[in-house]
Every structure is written in structure tokens, then in C-alpha cells.
Structure 1
């Protein structure tokens, strides 16, 4: 019975995470002492090899697992941080033209379990 409740709780948590990606507008990402980019909550950010410079190719189911780091209306690019355009015309934060994403499996600040997923996802760094 305990094992069943644990598995049920785990499945429900994952379903909620996948159903509600963090697509709300966020302030510009910042870097830690190692140059790793993170959001205001300290969550690690990632880039996707399949994206093209300035344009996100991760949408639909992809964006549920890898929520884009959305930019607020009127956000202004500065330094290596710029803005990428999404299919719906909205903007997300990017670094050196590479759109930035979170990862739903990262649950604690500084966690980086998305690095290397499918050989296409990588921790975002301030310097190329």
C-alpha cells in the first residue's frame, strides 16, 4: 500500500509539472561565479542544439518538458543576453542567440540534471 501511494504521488507530481510549464515572463537571467546561467530562483538554464540563432524550435510537448524562459513585454537585450522569437511571436531570453530553457526534472536551485539529455541539451553559459 505504501509503495502504491508513493508511485501515485510521484506520477501526480510529474503530471502537474508537465501540465503547467513555467512559461510566465521572467526577468533577465544571471550567471553564477562559473558563468552558468540561472533564473531568478536559481534554477539552471539550458540551450538546445536544434534551435537556430534567435529562434526557438522547442514548442508543444518539448516546451512542456523544457519550458522557455519567457521575456516580459518590453524586455531589452543587453550584453550577451538577447531575445529569441517563438512561433507565436512572443520572446524568450537567449544567450549569444541561443534560446534559454528550464528543465522540469530540475527541482532544486543549482540542479543540472538536463545537461546532455539526448546529446542535444546543454547547460547555458554566459561565455560561448
Structure 2
């Protein structure tokens, strides 16, 4: 039974990597090692200046902190929402907070942006 479960998990992971559109349909990100990451394993952050489900990170800010973009027709449920950015594009938010990656995080698991300027924070699992 254990081998079958491991094989099934491997099959699901392969499908998620091969068909990212389907993987994103359920949830745009996941918890890994106590922090939230996108489907490439890159750390996700929140920005203290965002409020009311609105992103305040635009222009050069968004170049350094790329938003976790959502397709125009994205559906969200539970703590997940989709917000409209100032440029009209859609972005995922979790628990009311828009999500971002950080351009200086070069590989999965890096958290170089955590605590940056005291306004950027890694999204951690709430226990």
C-alpha cells in the first residue's frame, strides 16, 4: 500500500509539473517547510503597505517584487482571492494580502527578501 501511495503522489507531482494550468486551478501556491511558495518553489511575500486587498507595489516595485499573477478568468475560494492591479492585470491574494516573489531569490527556498525594509515578509503557515 505504501508503494502505491508513493507512486500516486509521484504521478500527481508529474501531472502538476506537466500541466501547470491544472495545478493552478486548485490553489496558486502551497506550503513547503512552513512557508508559502509558488509552483516553482519560489518563496512568496506580503507587503505591509498593501491594504484593503489592493496592491501598492507597482512600477519599479513590481519589477523587484513580481506579483503572483492570475489568469484573467481565475477563480479563487476559501482564503484565496483574485485582485485587480492598477495596470488591470489580475493578482492572487491570500487572506486578503496580495502575494509576490522577490527578484533576488534565485532558487527555490531562498528568502532573501524576508524583513526587507521592515515591510516585506515571507508568508508562513499559521498554526
| TM-score where L is the length of structure 2 | 0.74
Runs (4+) of structure 1 exceeding 4 A deviation are none
Q: Which secondary structure state, in structure 2, belongs to the residue aligned with residue 37 of structure 1?
A: strand
Maintained 8 Å contact 1:80/1:96: yes
The reply on whether 1:91 has 2:95 as its aligned counterpart is: no
Q: Where in structure 1 are there 5+ consecutive unaligned residues?
A: 1-24
**CA-atom RMSD in angstroms:** 2.0
Which residue in 2 is equivalent to 1:82?
A: 81
CA distance in 1, matches of 2:71, 2:124: 21
Which residue in 1 is equivalent to 2:39?
A: 40
Cα shift at 1:98: 0.4
| TM-score where L is the length of structure 1 | 0.74
List aligned pairs for 1:92-111, cutoff 5 A.
92-111=91-110
> Relative to total residues, which structure has the larger helix share, 1 or 2?
2
Which residue in 2 is equivalent to 1:120?
A: 119
Which residue in 2 is equivalent to 1:29?
A: 29
Cα shift at 1:104: 0.4
CA distance in 2, matches of 1:85, 1:56: 8
Cα shift at 1:115: 0.3
CA distance in 2, matches of 1:56, 1:84: 8
Cα deviation per residue 1:29-69 (whole Å; 9 max; x = unaligned)? 111252x1111100000000000121101000000000001
Maintained 8 Å contact 1:47/1:100: yes
